[in-house]
Structure 1
Amino acid sequence: MTLPMSYPKWHRMTSQADGLGESPFWHPAEKCLYWVDIPGQRLRRMAMTADSMGEQRPEDWPLEEEPGCFAPATQGGWVMATRSGVYRARTWGGPRQLLAAAPYDTAQLRFNDGKCDPAGNFWSGSMFEPRDQALAVLYALQADGRLEIKAGDATVANGLAWSPDGRTLYWSDTGAHCIRAWDYDADTQTMSRERLFAQFPLKPNNWAYGTASAQTYLGRPDGAAVDVDGFYYSAMYEGHRLAKFAPDGRCVAFIETPVQCPTMPCFGGEDMCTLFITTSAHGRSAEELQALPDSGCVFATRVETPGVPVSFFNN
């Protein structure tokens, strides 16, 4: 896949690396960037001055288990999916109220990527940690506390996003190197007309950092974000890039990242034209970390097209 590569100026926003940063979102009223460090078992947030482009000091909320994702709530606080279930919290670092227990074997599965849809419903996908069976699914939290399965047949659920009009839902299976799309009705949480949005070549068996295979491998689709024109930005894990897709599924550009393993982009800042990415240092080789010592940090760059704001949990 030969496409133009853009080389933006990325600014490192954190000096302390995450093990595996994920699930970033921008809170417009608080002017804060939020994200999780999965193996670090903590939620993080960072207040930003007006479109500042330099290192800030994050505030941490330690947990007793791995968080997968979280989202802001309209009535204040957050909804979050951790290994053991979906929780509601009203204050930073405060008590968590269980909304739904995990409907899976927590010894082998955990919640991973998730967001709220445009109607304020909370969604989260799971991941099967042995990664040798397609047992991961996509759940939507119901008003009665049930976690309803909406899609499945995946190993690692990622890439959840909606088009600006809310009528298309995107979801990726990182292990299968594919992104799927559905028509979506937010009022009824109905998905229809499933289709393959993008398929990338699988990871070479001989892949290793610094080798020829690492130079040609495009990576596999991880977390994602959408801009107001409907372009879908996918973090290509181990691919050293973001992939930018047009609404019709054409991959129109690659955006180089300062690390091998970007995990998820999000838009933020006063004008929603700051593109943030979380990244991973977890499980990376000593050679890679020596060459790319900022792996695991949060980065930001400026873009011309603003992103779609985060959707808030409606409870």
Structure 2
Amino acid sequence: MRIDVVVDVKTTLGEGPVWDPEQERLYWVDSMDGRVFRATAQGSEVRCWDLPDKIGSMALRRDGEGAVVALASGFHTLDFASGEVIPFHDPEPDRPANRLNDGKVDRHGRFLCGSMDTMEEGPNGALYRVDPDFSVHTLEKDIIVSNGPCWSPDGDTFYFADTWTGEIWAYDYDQATGSISNRRTFCRPDGSGGGAADGSTVDAEGYLWNALVYDGKIIRYTPDGEVDRVIEMPVKKVTSVMFGGPNLDTLFATSMAKPPLPRFPGDGVRRGSLFSITGLGVHGLPEPRFGA
């Protein structure tokens, strides 16, 4: 196994890596600075789009050169060619202390994305589903920090975390309707080192990979929720993971250069870097695109 710095752009809060197998490019975001980045798997051809607000996550669209972006001010579309950002729905106009956070696309082109309390204290957030017709539906309420949405390889199990509950949950996922039910505890990440569950992805074998933010670890869990492997990262504030590369066998990991709140620890010179982890002997699954 080898860990390398792919791109060192010192993202204030790097998040949401998305591999595009069609272009063979990796996208990721800087949540606090409101930017979308793109680069090759080797870290070349870096491109950046500036957004009008903080961003939690993004989803590539099936129709055209663009994405759906989850900003602090709601859901928007981003046109990569022109850089134009157009709002289409703000689910929480009455909650100025909230912002949208982590999100992923299901096998049928729906974007599931949750919100968070920016002080990371109160259960003021929710989990939303954006359908291909751009309608928005509430799936879960009373969330502090939404994180880690992803699905089992067959699409029938949905994983999701409210970071500061100390649990990652599993739900039954109705692929016909995009509804969730039967919430149960999938695992309880070991937060004894000050860490908590952040971004996740599922590999082709159905094992879940989770970034343990503030503890500098990436943990692979079996489909039964047992710890299978632990990777010690060179930074404490590792935030999210995604498989990519031409063979989907490179695990990319984002990190933050500056913690959002002063109570969290700092990091060394590699803080805020985009990392690649190779030699794992594991392959990921291609991420679906948003749209019908």
Bigger strand fraction:
2
Of 16, 21, 39, 2:14 maps to 21
Counting only pairs closer than 5 Å after superposition, residues 3-82 of structure 1 correspond to structure 2 as 8-48=1-41, 52=42, 55-76=43-64, 77-82=66-71
**What TM-score does the superposition give when structure 1 sets the normalisation length?**
0.86
C-alpha distance in 1 between matches for 2:228 and 2:40 = 33
C-alpha distance in 1 between matches for 2:106 and 2:9 = 31
Judging changes above 3 Å, is the alpha-carbon distance between structure 1 residues 235 and 201 closer, same or farther for their aligned structure 2 residues?
closer
Of 163, 174, 180, 2:152 maps to 163
C-alpha distance in 2 between matches for 1:111 and 1:267 = 23
Of 93, 98, 101, 1:109 maps to 98
Q: In structure 1, the residue corresponding to 2:277 is in which secondary structure? A: strand
C-alpha distance in 2 between matches for 1:38 and 1:253 = 28
C-alpha distance in 1 between matches for 2:48 and 2:21 = 19
> Displacement of 1:123 after TM fit?
1.2
Compute the RMSD of aligned alpha carbons.
2.0
Of 59, 78, 83, 1:94 maps to 83
Q: In structure 2, the residue corresponding to 1:175 is in which secondary structure? A: helix
Q: How many residues align?
A: 288
Partner of 1:225: 201
Judging changes above 3 Å, is the alpha-carbon distance between structure 1 residues 93 and 283 closer, same or farther for their aligned structure 2 residues?
farther
Q: Which has the larger radius of gyration?
A: 1
> Displacement of 1:144 after TM fit?
5.4
Instruction: Give the unaligned 5+ runs of structure 2.
Output: none
Counting only pairs closer than 5 Å after superposition, residues 1-315 of structure 1 correspond to structure 2 as 8-48=1-41, 52=42, 55-76=43-64, 77-142=66-131, 145-200=134-189, 217=193, 219-283=195-259, 289=266, 292-302=268-278, 303-315=280-292
Q: Identity rate of aligned residues, in percent?
A: 31
C-alpha distance in 1 between matches for 2:59 and 2:273 = 20
Partner of 1:4: none
| Matched AA of 2:236 | Q
The C-alpha deviation readout for 1:66-106, integer Å capped at 9, x for no partner, is: 01111111112211111111112333452223221233435
Judging changes above 3 Å, is the alpha-carbon distance between structure 1 residues 293 and 105 closer, same or farther for their aligned structure 2 residues?
farther
The C-alpha deviation readout for 1:211-267, integer Å capped at 9, x for no partner, is: xxxxx5161000001100000000000111011111111122211111101100000
Preserved contact between residue 109 and residue 131 of structure 2 (Cα < 8 Å): no
**What TM-score does the superposition give when structure 2 sets the normalisation length?**
0.92
Instruction: Give the unaligned 5+ runs of structure 1.
Output: 1-7, 203-215
Runs of 4+ in structure 1 off by over 4 angstroms are none
Preserved contact between residue 262 and residue 278 of structure 1 (Cα < 8 Å): yes
